[in-house]
Structure 1
Amino acid sequence: MFTELTKKSSFKAMRESSYDIFGGNLDLRSIKPGETLVMADLEGPGKIVHWWCTIAAEDIHMYNRMLVLRFYWDDEKNPSVETPIGDFFCSGHGMESEVISLPITSLNRGKGRNCWFEMPFKKRALLTITNEAEEPVRSFYWNIDWQKFDSINNDILYFHAQYKQEYPTKEGKDYRILEAFGAGNYVGTVLNVEKDIKPGWFGEGDEKIYIDGENYPSIWGTGTEDYFLTAWSPHVYQSPFSGFSIWQGCNHAGDKTTGYRFHILDPIPFTKSIVVDIEHAWTVENKEFCDFYSSVAFWYQSEPHVPFDNIPDANQRRAQRPEEIKYDKHYQDKWGMKTGE
């Protein structure tokens, strides 16, 4: 990383941002309900090397789950990145939390978000964010730093990130974090668990990674907290390649966990396909928990990629038992409440 600083550069440093085009200090954009905001529409060849953003959306309940990122490379019709913004930055359940890792940080209680995953492209990069809430985003700020090249390698791998959820998980079936086809490298996982009414430790669930169509996984782990590089149950911690940004326990309905694991020094290559699963069980006592799981998978691969399944809609993505309950129409309908209760 530092070695590159001693070499002559072959690119021009560029930035796309929300700066005030009229010369003032109103360096933000508002996002109306249902509106898609274009953060960047870049002409290649180039490579995004860093982006920062912050949000003021106090009127939106769980806004971290209501705002969806979609990134497109080289005029593709289907996004290569599709995920709620909070989960992308390792804060699940619509919550905010600090994260300090090598590729992603969220500082000042999760307000200042940064991503250093490199995102190369040949012809065009289109980065958007959509407000899927019923209320407006008051302020959205961003800086996207990228490098403009005269030419770029023809065999580049493109950055991908996909959100999935299963509310609740299915008994007898592992939770699937990713199924992708093509050639590339798997580089990271964000996993969220919200406990249902059955108390107990879910974290003996092993990760299983199937490479290139194999029936038996080449990578079979020893437990959920082991995959996130800690031991003897999770706790909130941060490190360059792994951490738990949220840990509330596992014995009460609504207890929430978010862990992240980045395979930067240990990427998992595949040439045809990859499947990333994880158990949801306390196998020592032969228990299986059907809790509420959601995740983001990060990987690089050649294009074209298989289009993603439809992302669950905004209300389906809400936490089942939110930390701060706003008795809007969604929860009134869900719990059979009358207006004003």
Structure 2
Amino acid sequence: MSRLFFASIWLFILPCLDGREAAGDGLELARVRPAARTGLANAGWGLDRYKELHGLRPHESQVIADLSGPGVIRQIHITHTRRQEDIVLEIRFDDAAEPAVLCPMTFFFCNARLNTSVIENSPGSWNAYFPMPFKKRAQVMLRNDGEREILFYSFVEWETLPKWDKTLGYFHATYDRKIFQLTRDSEVVLFETAGRGQFIGRHWTVTTDEPVFNEWMALMEGNNEVDIDSVERVVDYLGSEDSFNFSWGWQGTWFGLRSGITENRQGKLSVYRFHPDMPLRFAKSFRWTLNFRFERYGANMNTDEARAKNSHWVNYQTVHYWYLDQPGGYRHAPLAPLEERKQELIKGVASAP
């Protein structure tokens, strides 16, 4: 037998010698950790044991969990409710000046009935299972931007950590809305951040009423270019649908553990992809660009025509999810007023040549 064969066998056996357990042995759930302490924070529902709890009052920011570290949030559970589109989710770690998470709540949960390892929309409730470690403090907040009180119930499950591990990143998520004329000249930066971390997923909701984009043929295209640490196109997906694990356009609806098409109708498309098994890692910077400049399809995407007719308008509402080595510092795009956020489609004015 070859030396390579024996070397491979030895590398397999070595971690198991003397009763040592190999990392990733599948026994994590069975390991008893008596030093870890589990906790749960209730909020919202004051019609039971905890009379001091109350609904989300108009224009109120309510802290639904205020936790001392080191620890890790394991689950965030929030009931479906009327006017839930009025709610903004905000999460801060270690008293950072800027929130790590700032999203309209329903967009954070992908606006759909889905069932993944990190986000679950079960009957009657939203659930997030992203592990969210923190060194000193974690605050989970809901903000009501509407004019009426919102009745809800939430809980946040968490556990203590024996000590802070410097290799842990802080969970981040951000919402943005890009309004632009989609033509052969379109090149739009959808997301960028600085620092050391790893990118783990995204959600798009795309809306348009332009006849040129019927059947989503043009919008399935666009190179998804990922620049990492100032190196251009370390990852370059040739087609938007392929970047979400689909091919040959957006076909119907489909719900998977890692990717899905949650809405696909005339004028509106919603898609998601999570890749917790292989995040996109970066040491200094990360940028995601949607680039249509190299497309052969889309003869109806003429830039001059779009300007002359003030047409070809599309809205890309996005949520990006990642981990960063710092609890704060990311500058979120300002959220538009509530009534504007509720509009599925907003158009602008064509720019001059």
**Shorter-chain TM-score: which interval?**
0.7 to 0.9
Aligned counterpart in structure 2 of residue 83 of structure 1, from 103, 108, 122: 103
Aligned residue in 1 for 2:38 = 13
Aligned residue in 1 for 2:315 = 292
Aligned counterparts, 1:157-306, within 5 A:
157-169=169-181, 171=183, 172-200=185-213, 201=216, 202-214=219-231, 216-234=232-250, 235-249=252-266, 255-279=267-291, 283-288=296-301, 289-303=312-326, 304-306=328-330
Q: Is the 8 A contact 2:114 2:121 kept in 1?
A: yes
Name the SS for the 1:166 alignment partner: strand
1:259-284 per-residue CA deviation (whole Å, 9 max, x = no partner) reads 00002112100000000122468741
Name the SS for the 2:37 alignment partner: strand
- Whole-Å separation in 2 of the counterparts to 1:265 and 1:11: 25
Q: Is the 8 A contact 1:183 1:272 kept in 2?
A: yes
- Whole-Å separation in 2 of the counterparts to 1:228 and 1:132: 32
2:17 pairs with 1:4:
no
Q: Residues 99 and 22 from structure 1, CA distance in 2 versus in 1: closer, same or farther, beyond 3 angstroms?
A: closer
Q: Residues 283 and 295 from structure 1, CA distance in 2 versus in 1: closer, same or farther, beyond 3 angstroms?
A: farther
2:71 pairs with 1:39:
no
Aligned pairs, how many?
303
Amino acid at match of 1:42: L
- Whole-Å separation in 1 of the counterparts to 2:273 and 2:300: 25
Q: Is the 8 A contact 1:28 1:141 kept in 2?
A: no
- Whole-Å separation in 2 of the counterparts to 1:267 and 1:192: 22
- Whole-Å separation in 1 of the counterparts to 2:181 and 2:194: 24
TM score, norm. by length of structure 1: 0.82
- Whole-Å separation in 2 of the counterparts to 1:280 and 1:291: 14
Q: Residues 286 and 305 from structure 1, CA distance in 2 versus in 1: closer, same or farther, beyond 3 angstroms?
A: farther
Aligned residue in 2 for 1:67 = 87
2:333 pairs with 1:309:
yes
Q: Which has the larger radius of gyration?
A: 2
Q: Which runs of 5+ in 2 are unaligned?
A: 1-23, 302-311, 347-353
Q: Is the 8 A contact 1:195 1:291 kept in 2?
A: yes
1:198-239 per-residue CA deviation (whole Å, 9 max, x = no partner) reads 33221112211111122x311111212211112222221111
Runs ≥4 residues deviating over 4 A: 19-23, 25-28, 280-283
Aligned residue in 1 for 2:113 = 98
Q: Is the 8 A contact 1:27 1:141 kept in 2?
A: no
Name the SS for the 1:295 alignment partner: strand
- Whole-Å separation in 2 of the counterparts to 1:128 and 1:270: 29
1:301-329 per-residue CA deviation (whole Å, 9 max, x = no partner) reads 1114332232222222123359xxxxxxx
- Whole-Å separation in 2 of the counterparts to 1:19 and 1:39: 8
Name the SS for the 1:309 alignment partner: coil
- Whole-Å separation in 2 of the counterparts to 1:46 and 1:183: 21
Amino acid at match of 1:77: A
- Whole-Å separation in 2 of the counterparts to 1:291 and 1:125: 37
Offset at residue 101 of structure 1 (A): 1.3
Of the structure 1 ranges 17-26 and 301-310, higher mean CA displacement relative to structure 2 is found in 17-26
Q: Which runs of 5+ in 1 are unaligned?
A: 92-96, 250-254, 323-341
Aligned residue in 2 for 1:154 = 166
Larger helix percent? 2
Q: Is the 8 A contact 2:100 2:330 kept in 1?
A: no
Q: Taking every aligned residue pair, what percent have the same amino acid on both sides?
A: 25
- Whole-Å separation in 2 of the counterparts to 1:169 and 1:46: 45
